[in-house]
C-alpha cells in the first residue's frame, strides 16, 4: 500500500492549514486505498486568529500541537521524517501556510520557505517522488526549486505575476482542474483560491491526490 506524507501548518485557514483542504486531502488519499501520515513543524505559529471574527489575538499556539487537531493526534515532527518510507508528499493550503511554512504573507516578493520544508520537498523530487501543492501552497515552489516548474494557483493575476517573476511557469486553472509538471512530478490545484464551497474544493483536491498516487 502506498504511503503519502502530508505537511500541516496548524489548524485553521487564517493562521494554520485550511481544515477543509486538509481533511479532503486525507479523505482522498484513503479513497485511493493509500495510507497517510501527517507531519508539522514543532514551532510557534506566526500568529493566532479568532476565526469567528477573523481578528488576531494575543494567544500563542504551536503548529505541531494544533495540527494534531486535524490528524486526530497522529502527527509527527517534520524533522523526523524518513522520506524512504513514503511514496509522495502533499501540502494543503490555507492563509496560515503562507505565514508558517513560508513567509509570503509578511515578506511579499522576497519571501522564502522554511528550510526544513524546502529541503524535504527537494528530497522527494530528487528521488522522483511526486509532490502535490494545494491552494496557496504552490507559491512555495519557485522558492524551493532552482528550476522552472509548471504550476497553478488558479486565476489570480497578481499572484501569478509574482510567481512568474520568481521563475515559475504559471497556468490558469479552474477550481476543478489540476496542473501537472510531468518532468518533475509536481502537481498543483487552486482549491479555495477559487472554490466557493467544500464540494468545489474537493473536486480539484481529489484529482490532485489521484494523480499523486498514480505517479508514485
pLDDT digits (tens, 9 = 90+) for 4-33: 999 999 999 898 999 999 999 999 999 999
Residue range of the domain that includes 124: 3-215
Q: Are strands 35-40 and 75-77 parallel, antiparallel or unpaired?
A: parallel
CATH classification at residue 76: 3.40.50.880
pLDDT score at 104: 93
Residue 46, pLDDT > 90, answer no
pLDDT score at 72: 95
Tell me the catalytic residues. Answer: 135
pLDDT score at 125: 98
pLDDT score at 173: 96
Percent of the chain with pLDDT over 70: 100
pLDDT score at 49: 84
Nearest of 22, 20, 19, 24 to residue 7 by alpha carbon: 22
Look over the chain and give the mean of its residue pLDDT values, rounded to a whole number. 96
Cell digits of residue 139: 507559491
Burial of 4 (0-12, 13-18, 19+ CB in 10 A): buried
Residue 189 confidence class, pLDDT cut points 50, 70, 90: very high
pLDDT score at 117: 98
CB of 212 closer than 8 Å to CB of 132? yes
Number of domains composing the chain: 1
User: CA-to-CA distance for 202 and 135, rounded, in angstroms?
Assistant: 12
Burial of 147 (0-12, 13-18, 19+ CB in 10 A): exposed
pLDDT digits (tens, 9 = 90+) for 94-151: 999 999 999 999 998 999 999 999 999 999 999 999 999 999 999 999 999 999 999 9
CA-to-CA dists, residue 28 to 31, 137, 164, angstroms: 5, 18, 30
pTM of the predicted protein model: 0.96
pLDDT score at 178: 98
Residue 48, pLDDT > 90, answer no
Residue 50, pLDDT > 90, answer no
User: CA-to-CA distance for 139 and 152, rounded, in angstroms?
Assistant: 9
148-158 mean pLDDT: 96
Amino acid at each position: 500500500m502506498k504511503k503519502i506524507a502530508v505537511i500541516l501548518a496548524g489548524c485553521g485557514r487564517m493562521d494554520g492549514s485550511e481544515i477543509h483542504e486538509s481533511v479532503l486531502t486525507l479523505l482522498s488519499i484513503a479513497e485511493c486505498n493509500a495510507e497517510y501520515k501527517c507531519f508539522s513543524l514543532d514551532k510557534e505559529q506566526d500568529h493566532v486568529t479568532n476565526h469567528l471574527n477573523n481578528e488576531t489575538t494575543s494567544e500563542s499556539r504551536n503548529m505541531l500541537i494544533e495540527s494534531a487537531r486535524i490528524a486526530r493526534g497522529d502527527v509527527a515532527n517534520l524533522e523526523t521524517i524518513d522520506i524512504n518510507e513514503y511514496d509522495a508528499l502533499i501540502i494543503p493550503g490555507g492563509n496560515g501556510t503562507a505565514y508558517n511554512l513560508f513567509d509570503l504573507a509578511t515578506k511579499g516578493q522576497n519571501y522564502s520557505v522554511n528550510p526544513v520544508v524546502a529541503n524535504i520537498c527537494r528530497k522527494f523530487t530528487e528521488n522522483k517522488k511526486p509532490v502535490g501543492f494545494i491552494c496557496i501552497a504552490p507559491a512555495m515552489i519557485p522558492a524551493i526549486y532552482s528550476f522552472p516548474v509548471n504550476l497553478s494557483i488558479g486565476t489570480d493575476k497578481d499572484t501569478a505575476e509574482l510567481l512568474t517573476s520568481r521563475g515559475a511557469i504559471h497556468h490558469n486553472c479552474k477550481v476543478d482542474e489540476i496542473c501537472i509538471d510531468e518532468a518533475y512530478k509536481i502537481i498543483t490545484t487552486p482549491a479555495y483560491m477559487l472554490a466557493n464551497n467544500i464540494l468545489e474544493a474537493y473536486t480539484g483536491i481529489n484529482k490532485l491526490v489521484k494523480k499523486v498516487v498514480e505517479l508514485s
